[in-house]
Structure 1
């Protein structure tokens, strides 16, 4: 008969912390799906721990046979009764509506749809500092790649387009199935952001300098660990620094940012290619275009855009990160993508 593997000490500490939150009162309605699963696991663990402790005490009470036997018998009965009450409470705890995620899904979805702003990223990268993961964050900021795709390695090259410096990111998709889903390999080109905030320009130059100093194409890779995939590890690390910075952004905020910038150029097919989608349908769920894009659509005579803009222009650009645009036909970045494989 196999015995259960004991929890690691850090897991026990985390479960104990969450169990303490449960005992003080925890609002399940505001919790996301992952938080509910974690709290449920912690609660079950704590109930089982207390049940085992009560049964051990009951067992101790029956080991000795002496003149205190009547008292020990009474102690045994009390501990068994305590264990039975805990088991009943555990069943009630398990029966709670842990899978009612209507509110949690909405809350999580809204959070993930936010594109990171210039101000947020400046605070975020200040918190990141000289961390070993800084390079990975820079790659996602300017390429929009998924965290899991860093596990395959993202290849970066410098190039010039019409005399202007640019970075080419070659990303191997993790969602391609060889049929209708995703692109096997895509090239995302990020030109030097001449109209961006100084902090954004500085980060772009920082990454370009690292590529140039490498004297060959730079491959940025995030290795998986025994318990976490590359994507899970990226998300966990990103969330750590976001929490440290007290910012309401998620690991996908970088990807939504690139999507919004690409949509501002007005080419949905190019945006789909940048994100690694075969069709333009999926990218509808990503960051929306900014004011410049909407104004071009309105000026072009698009009836739907004109109607939406007249009703609520603020809602049209609510998720767009602020940027300095001199020319209404020029977006902060000019992202382009090619689905062709790079030799």
Structure 2
């Protein structure tokens, strides 16, 4: 099935002299209600007939989406008949005068590869997305402050085959409205995004520039000492990572995410890196060890942290501090989480400021 398309309306052309690509039209539907004057969080949902795709793994049954105008966060949960082998996308759009829905943002996910990204109307990647899959539901979310305050009032979802041709296999038609204002956040993910250290802030309290804070000091005020070793605090954010067979055992459903990595690091200065664990299973995960791989040119406040327990449905954040000591342009640091039947591996890249 090919993507239908249409040119912008004459009124939209008169409103702007800028040369832009023709909007991709999702589907025809009723004209959208007048946009709300105040920014907020909006949601919508749509259903699709079961059994209208070549196989259950490509069959979309429905989708629920959220768009946060305040933060630029978008989120979609797509109900499938099976585990999708290729891309599943949520397309967020704007109603045209004709009632059609033209694409503004595409929230892409690939469960098989564990990857996702937020793309603009021209196809460029704006942000990485978190992706998870459980009980035949794909959950994908991303945040880009640059897309806040957009007029997003309609959406649909597409599934594609796993082949190189990226063939469209199922879609929700017509596009559904995303106009219901949410009084309270649907979940913390819709309004909270992990802080990103861009290297421009002042040194952390209790630390000399380039040094490490004393052990046991809570440098960021979140109540977790930097040498934290314990049960952690509740954490309801969702993260990517699950087993290939989707069975949901502890070894396959402990989500691991690394965040706080600056885009560029100043050589000789230390930065905080956080590794967040979330237990997606119905059993506690115990006696875990979070380890940073030794890397030449990277100094670490510690390489190993022990976590006694991650309760079912909860999360733990472990803190490390790293410092570039070499003049090399970038260094890749590997992260492993082991113990209690768990074996997860991630990595992150440290790029030196000023390096090409």
TM range (shorter): under 0.3
The structure number with the bigger radius of gyration is 1
Which structure shows the higher strand fraction?
A: 2
Which structure shows the higher helix fraction?
A: 1
TM-score by length of 1: 0.24
By relative contact order (CA 8 Å, sep 6+), the higher-ranking structure is 1
